[in-house]
Structure 1
Amino acid sequence: MRRDYLRPMLLIFASPAIGLVGWSGHVALLPVALGFPLLWSISRTRLVAALVSAGYFLAASRGLPQGVAAFYTSDIWPGLLLWLCASLSFVTVHTVLWTMNARTRPFRYFLAVVVMSIPPFGITGWAHPVTAAGVLFPGWGWWGLGLMTTGLAGLVTRIWPAVAIALTGFWLWSAASWTEPSLPKGWRGVDLELGASLGRDAGLHRQRDLIATVRNAASDGARFVVLPETALGFWTPTVARLWISASGDTDATVIAGATVLDAAGYDNVLVAIDREGQSSMLYRERMPVPGSMWQPWRSWFGESGGARADFFANPVVSVGASRAAPLICYEQLIVWPILQSMLHDPDLVVAAGNGWWTEGTSIVSIQRATTTAWARLFTKPLVTAFNT
C-alpha cells in the first residue's frame, strides 16, 4: 500500500523541481525540462498527471506573481490569481490528452506539444520543453526541431531510457562545444537600467539622454542601434520630430520600442529612425502580455483600451539590407512567433524587452535563455536590448 502512494508523491514533488531548474534562466539547463514528459507519461492516473503538469508549470512560471504585483504596485493576490489562471491551459491540455494506453501515448503527447505551441492555447504556452532544441541541436535548424519533437514523443514510450540516454549524449556534446549566438556586424543592442521610469518619463531630458546613448554606440562603429521595449514612450509627432532632427548628427539607424496610442487602444511597436531623417513603424507586437496588456474582453462590452495583438502579422521586417525577426518581451517566452519568423529565413533575430517589473525574479534571464536557444538552433545572429 505504501508503494501505491510513494510513486505518485515522488512524481508530484519531482515535477516542480524540473520546472525550477529547467527554467532557472541558464540556457544550458533548458534540457532539464525534458524530464516533464517523462513524469507525465509514467503517471498512473489522470489526477496525478494533472498535478504533475501543474507542479511543473507553476514552478517554471514562478516569477509571475511577484512581477505582476510590482507592475501594478499592488499586493501579491492579483499576481497569484493570474498565475493560476495562466496554468489552466497547460494543465487542461496535458490532463485531457493523458492516457494509460502505451500505443497512443506518443501521438497524444505530440498533439499536446503542437497545441501548446500555437494559439489559442499557445498564447500561454510558456516553459515549452521544445525550446531545449537549440541547446541539444545547435545549428540543426528545422531538422533539429524535428529531432527534438521526436525525442519528446520518445520519452513517453516504453523505450524512454534509450531515448533519454541519446538526448543526454547530445546535451553533453553541445555543452562541450557551445558558443553563444554571434552579434551581427554593425549592430549594437543597448541594455539600460532605468527601472520603471523608462517609457513613462516622457521629458525632454530623458529623450536627450537616450539620443546621447545612441551617439555613443554609433561612435564605436555601430550602424544599427537597438533600444529596449517602450524606450521612447508614446510615439507622438513631437517625439518623432526630436529623434528625426537628432538623426542627422549620427551615422546609425535607431530601432527602439515605443507605444502608439489611438482611441481604440494601443500598439506595442518598434520604430526605426534612419540616418537620413526618415522614421517608420517597423514592427507591431504579435502577442502582448495577456491580461496586463492584451485585454480582448474589453471589446465584448463595448469598451476600448488594451494592446492589440497582431498574432501572425509582420514576422520579418526589413532593416537596411537585412531581414530581421523581431521579438518583443512576452513573445520571447512562447513558441509560435519565433517559428513563424524562421519560416521566412531572416538574417538575424532582434529581441527587445522592458523587464523592470521582474526585479527579484528570473523572467528576464529566461527571456535571454530562450532567445539564445532559438538563435543557436537556426544559427542566426542575435541582438538583444533589455531594460531592468
Structure 2
Amino acid sequence: MCPDYLRPALLIFASIAIGVVGWSGHVLLLPVALGFPVLWSISRTRLVAALVSAGYFLAASRGLPQGVAAFYSSDIWPGLLLWLCGSLSFVTVHTALWTKKSGVRPVRYFLAALVMAIPPFGITGWAHPVTAAGVLFPGWGWWGLGLITAGLAGLVTRIWPAVAIALTGFWLWSAATWTDPKLPEAWRGVDLELGVSLGREAGLQRQRDMIATVRGAANDSARFVALPESALGFWTPTVERVWTGALRDGAATVIAGATVLDATGYDNVLVSIDRKGGSILYRERMPVPGSMWQPWRFLFGESGGAKADFFANPVVTIGASRAAPLICYEQLIVWPILQSVLHDPDFVVAVGNGWWTEGTSIVAIQRAAATSWATLFAKPLVIAFNT
C-alpha cells in the first residue's frame, strides 16, 4: 500500500476500533471514545476527517441495522438506510467544523460537541464522548462536565499526548475505586424478559401478571416499584381501575411505562399508580426518530407517530422526591439528562423496552450511559428494562 494512503487507512481503522470498544456497553470503557477527537484533529484533510467521523459513528451505532430489522420484522435494508441516515448529522457537523488551523481547532471541536449535544443535531447525537464524564470524574457534577469538555478541547491541540495522559490517570483511578450508583431508598426497578409481547399483549391476564410482579417486589420492602417502558400497554380508564383496585390494600406506588393515544398520534409516557388512582407522570421528550417520532407526517396532512415534548417535564415529583426520568432513546443522547439535572433531582429513573435489540449491545449501552450520568452527578439510579 502506498504510504500516502496508509496513514488515512490507519486513522479510519482506529476510529472504527474506538467506536466498537468505547460503545461496547461496558461503562468503564466509555472513556475509549475520547480517542475520537484525537483522530479527528490529526486528520490532514477534510475528507479524511469525514471518513474518521463516519467510521467512529457507524461503529458505535452498529447495532441499529439489526435492531431495526427486528423491530419491523423485515430484512436488513431498512435498518441499513436508517443507520446511514442517522450518521449524516454527526459526519456533516464534524466535517464542516474540521480545520487545518491548530489555533482555532479547539474552538471548532467545542462547537461540534455542543451542536451534537442539543437539538436539532442533538436529536441523533448518540455516541457523544462527553458521556464518559461520569467514569472520569464520578461525583464531580458540573465541574466534571466542565473538565471533560476542556479535556476534549485539549485533545485536539498539539499537547494532546499530555492531556491524554492526564485523562488516563483519572480513568485508572476511577476504575480502581468504581462503584455503581445506589438505588434510592425504598425503590425497586424490575427487569422483565417478555420480549415483543410487552406493550402489545395487554389483556386482563397480562395486567394480573404485572400486578403479581409488583406485589413480589413490594414484599421486599420496596414502596416504589418501577416497571419498564410500555409495561402497561395502552393507558385507559379500565387499566387504571384494575391497577388501583389491586393496590388498594397496600402502600406501594407503581411507576410504569404506557402509551396514551389521541387523534393526532400517541405519547410514550410514565404513569404513577397507587391506591388512590393513577395519573400521567411524564411524557417522553425525545422518542426514537424514524420508528416512533415521524414529524414528516404533518407535512403531508397525516396523523400518527409518537409526539416529542422536547424540553417539557425535565423532572417529576414522586412522593416526597423529585426524579429525572429517561425513557429508552433519551438515555443515548445528551440534552435530556443535562436539562433534568439543571433542576437538581433527587435521583434518576431510566426505563426501556429493548426486546428488538436482541443480539446487539444497545441495551447495554443505554444502561452504561445512564450509569455514567448518574455517577457524574452522584444521583441514585433506578433502572427497569424489558428484553
Check if 1:21 corresponds to 2:26: no
Distance 1:142 1:227 in 2: 30
Check if 1:210 corresponds to 2:210: yes
Give deviations 1:117-144, integer Å, cap 9, x for gaps: 0000000000000000000000000000
Give deviations 1:128-181, integer Å, cap 9, x for gaps: 000000000000000000000000000000000100000000000101111100
Q: Which runs of 4+ in 1 moved over 6 A?
A: none
Over the matched positions of the two proteins, sequence identity in percent amounts to 83
Paired residues of 2:265 and 2:303 also in contact (CA < 8 A): yes
* Secondary structure of residue in 1 paired with 2:218: helix
* Secondary structure of residue in 2 paired with 1:162: helix
CA RMSD across the alignment: 0.7
Distance 1:375 1:328 in 2: 15
- 2:31 maps to amino acid: P
Following superposition, the deviation at residue 280 of structure 1 comes to 1.1
Distance 2:220 2:25 in 1: 30
Tell me the equivalent position of 2:301: 302
Distance 1:145 1:41 in 2: 21
Tell me the equivalent position of 2:134: 134
Following superposition, the deviation at residue 2 of structure 1 comes to 3.3
Q: Within 5 Å, give how 1:92-131 maps onto structure 2.
A: 92-131=92-131
Give the TM-score, by structure 2 length: 0.99
Following superposition, the deviation at residue 4 of structure 1 comes to 2.0
Distance 2:305 2:178 in 1: 41
Tell me the equivalent position of 2:37: 37
Give the TM-score, by structure 1 length: 0.99
Distance 1:12 1:205 in 2: 52
Distance 2:372 2:350 in 1: 13
* Secondary structure of residue in 2 paired with 1:99: coil
Distance 1:165 1:219 in 2: 49
Paired residues of 2:214 and 2:254 also in contact (CA < 8 A): yes
Following superposition, the deviation at residue 249 of structure 1 comes to 3.0
- 1:55 maps to amino acid: G
Paired residues of 1:65 and 1:83 also in contact (CA < 8 A): yes
Distance 1:295 1:265 in 2: 10
Give deviations 1:254-274, integer Å, cap 9, x for gaps: 000000001100000000002
Aligned residues: 387
Q: Within 5 Å, give how 1:333-348 maps onto structure 2.
A: 333-348=332-347
Q: Which runs of 5+ in 1 are unaligned?
A: none
Check if 1:320 corresponds to 2:333: no
Give deviations 1:282-306, integer Å, cap 9, x for gaps: 0000000000000000011110000
Following superposition, the deviation at residue 238 of structure 1 comes to 1.0
- 1:66 maps to amino acid: Q
Following superposition, the deviation at residue 247 of structure 1 comes to 1.3
Q: Within 5 Å, give how 1:257-296 maps onto structure 2.
A: 257-274=257-274, 276-296=275-295
Tell me the equivalent position of 1:158: 158
Distance 2:4 2:157 in 1: 22
Tell me the equivalent position of 1:175: 175
Tell me the equivalent position of 2:374: 375
Paired residues of 1:215 and 1:250 also in contact (CA < 8 A): no
Distance 1:26 1:5 in 2: 33
Paired residues of 2:259 and 2:266 also in contact (CA < 8 A): yes
Q: Within 5 Å, give how 1:165-244 maps onto structure 2.
A: 165-244=165-244
Following superposition, the deviation at residue 203 of structure 1 comes to 1.1
Following superposition, the deviation at residue 6 of structure 1 comes to 1.2
Following superposition, the deviation at residue 220 of structure 1 comes to 0.9
Following superposition, the deviation at residue 3 of structure 1 comes to 2.7
